[in-house]
Structure 1
Amino acid sequence: MEIDTLGFLELNSIAKGIEAVDYMLKVAECQLISAKASCPGKYYIIISGRVDAVTQSIEEGTRIGGMHIVGKLIIPRIDPQVVRAINMTHVPDNARAIGAIEYYSAAGSIVAADFAVKAASVDLISLQLATGIAGKSFVVLTGDVDAVKAAVEAGVEGAKDEAMIINHIVLPNPRKELIDSLVF
């Protein structure tokens, strides 16, 4: 299956989220990346696939979710790093700098991560979405100092209409202990 688009649906009902994901997967050929209950009592669905299939699935999930939908997102031409980094952690051997961007919603970090990796030569370390962090999310990336600065700026700017930012940082020459602490 060709994966070029990411779809994200957020509901305020766990039961309705479970129902929506079933209908979403039946209506079009998409890959389920994640579907789970999260803090604070929300349900997140992340799918990928061709743009037409993802669009059809998100529309169906929105129809099924009805008044329980609190957010949705479709990102065509998603960078493959973003899909791999969702709720996973990859720590490179030599982190010359790290950047972090933190949002009040999961959608903010997904959008910011895509803008960041498209703007500069950086690697995503982690993209943490809502679970165990009170519904917030954050993205952590690494690369050369200038690339990390450019990527963080692009991520913040690119997601400004999607979600409320909490904070962002760039740290040159991070200590190894800090890098090791990013592995969850």
Structure 2
Amino acid sequence: MGNSVGMLELSSIAKGIETCDHVLKAAEVELLRASTLCPGKYMIIIGGDTSSVNAAMSVGEEIAGPFLVDKLLIANISDQLMPAISSTTQVPTSGAVGVLEFYSVASAIVAADTAAKAADVHLMEIRTGFAVGGKGFITMCGDVSAVTAAVKAAEEVSDLLVNSVVIPRPTDKLYEALM
């Protein structure tokens, strides 16, 4: 995969799809997610080595033009970030659960990377705007102290935080619902 992740958010779905094509042609990057967001926006998330992601993002920003709403590039990401974005994470189903909710997808991605680097937690998912009104949220699990530390670290570096919770002993049914 690589060690960097980039995200572009556009206010036009049509322009977003066109931009995605140009981004993927610009450099050898992995498409982690490309989808519509509420309310009528389009998001592209790519991963790969830092120079490839930088090159692809530059082309994407140029093509998006005035339709670009937000962008994000993180180098040296946690190994857990890309699987959590692409919903391919395999995590244990025990321990505490932490949830952080943001008004912005970019804020959720930054928070997830920070949380995974701050404590011994397992990222479960990074939900990026689809079916949540354009918001982003992350879920993680681990022992109570690690989840608490990870949530606190993510809160400190993130903007547009809506809410966060740590659930010390979630039910098995909650774990099933989150997976």
TM-score by length of 1: 0.92
> What is the distance in 2 between the residues matched to 1:98 and 1:172?
7
> What is the distance in 2 between the residues matched to 1:91 and 1:52?
28
Query: What CA deviation, in whole Å up to 9, does each residue of 1:101-129 have, x standing for no partner?
Result: 00011111111000000000000111111
Would you say the 8 A contact 1:96–1:172 is kept in 2? yes
In the alignment, what sits opposite 1:4? Answer: 3
Alignment of 1:1-184 (within 5 A): 3-88=2-87, 90=89, 92-160=91-159, 164-183=160-179
Would you say the 8 A contact 1:89–1:127 is kept in 2? no
> What is the distance in 2 between the residues matched to 1:4 and 1:91?
19
> What is the distance in 2 between the residues matched to 1:180 and 1:90?
14
Q: How many residues are paired up?
A: 179
- The RMSD of aligned alpha carbons is 1.4
Would you say the 8 A contact 2:33–2:86 is kept in 1? no
> What is the distance in 2 between the residues matched to 1:35 and 1:176?
31
Query: What CA deviation, in whole Å up to 9, does each residue of 1:8-35 have, x standing for no partner?
Result: 0000101111111111111111111111
Structure 1 gaps of 5+ residues are: none
Helix, strand or coil at the partner of 2:80: helix
Deviates more, 1:73-82 or 1:83-92: 83-92
Q: Percent identity?
A: 42
Structure 2 gaps of 5+ residues are: none
Would you say the 8 A contact 1:87–1:129 is kept in 2? no
- Cα 1:121/1:154, change in 2 over 3 Å: same
